[in-house]
Amino acid sequence: MGGDRVRWGILGAARIAVRRVLPALLRSERSAVVAIASRDRDRATDTAQQFQIPKVHPSYDALLADPEVDAVYNPLPNSLHHLWTLRSAEAGKHVLCEKPLALNAREAQQMVEVCRRRGVLLQEAFMYRFHPQTERLQELVGSGEIGTPWLVRSAFTFLVATDEDIRLNPELGGGGLMDVGCYCVNIGRLLFGEPHTAFAASNIEGGVDVRLAGLLRFGGDRVAEFDCGVRAPFRQFCEVVGASGSIMVERPFQPEERPASLLIRRGDQERRVEIPGTNQYVRMIAHFVDCVLSQRPPRYPPE
C-alpha cells in the first residue's frame, strides 16, 4: 500500500471510467491513479494524459504485475468482469468492479470465493447506494414512515445512441437487464433482501433483451416490479409502497450532483424530504478506500 493512500490501476478506458470514475478518483485525497491499460493503446495514452496517469501498460496482465498497483477498477464489458476480476485477485489486487458483477450466480460466487481466499476486497460499483438519497430512503422505510412496506416499483429505460453500442452485443453481456435493469433488481434486494421467485417477459432483438419487465417475490408477501430497456424513452424512478403511504424517488440511480428529494404521500398529505446534492461516485470510492486501508468489511458485501 502506498502509505495512507490506495494506488489504483484502471483496466480499460471505458466511457464510465472517463466520465465518472476517474474524475471521482482525482477528488479522493486517499487515492492515486498510477496506471492504466487498454486494448487500444492510443486511447489509453490519451486518457493517461487527460488525467495525469503516470504509467500506460501494454496489457491488462502487465498492469496486474505492477507492484505499485494496490487496487484495480474494472469497467470492462460485462462478459469480461469475471475473468479480469479473478486475475486481479490472483495478482493480489483489491477490485472495484462495475455492475453487474457477473453474468450469472456461478460466476459471481467464484469471484467472491477467490477474492476471499486471496484476502482482497471485492466491491460491485452500485454507486447509487452511497448517495444520501438512498440512505434516507432506507431510513424512512425502516422507521415505519409508510407502514409495513410491501411493494417496490421501479423503472430505468433509455435509447441507445447507435446500433454499434456494446449494450446491443450479446457476446459482451449486453441487454437492458444487465445494463440498467440490474439497478432495479438491486434496489429491490436492498430494501427487501433476497427474492425467492423471479418472473420476466422481454422483447429480444439481435440476441439481447432491449426491453424487459420483471417481478420479484420476497418473503413476507413483498414484491418488486420493474421495467428496463435500452430501446425505450428515458424513464427513471422508484416508488416504495407501504400499508399506510408511499415514497417516490424521481431519480434514484442518477441524481447527479443536483439537490434531490423524496416525496412522501400518506392519504391526501404530501411532504418532501430535501437531500443535498453530492457526488455518489466520490462517496463510493471513499468507502472502498476506507475499507482497504482499515481492513474492514464493506457496507455492501458482494455476496
State the catalytic residues.
99
> Among 122, 103, 124, which Cα is nearest to 113's?
122
Cell 433482501 sits at which residue? 193
Cα gap 104→122, rounded to integer Å: 16
Torsion angles phi and psi, residue 16, rounded to 5:
-65, -35
> What single string gives the DSSP state of each residue in 72-115?
EEE-S-GGGHHHHHHHHHHTT-EEEEPSSS-SSHHHHHHHHHHH
| Helices 182-192, 132-142: inter-axial angle, 10-degree rounding | 40
Q: State how far the Cα of 94 lies from the Cα of 70, in Å rounded to an integer.
A: 6
Q: Single out the residue of 200, 299, 283 nearest to residue 27, CA to CA.
A: 283
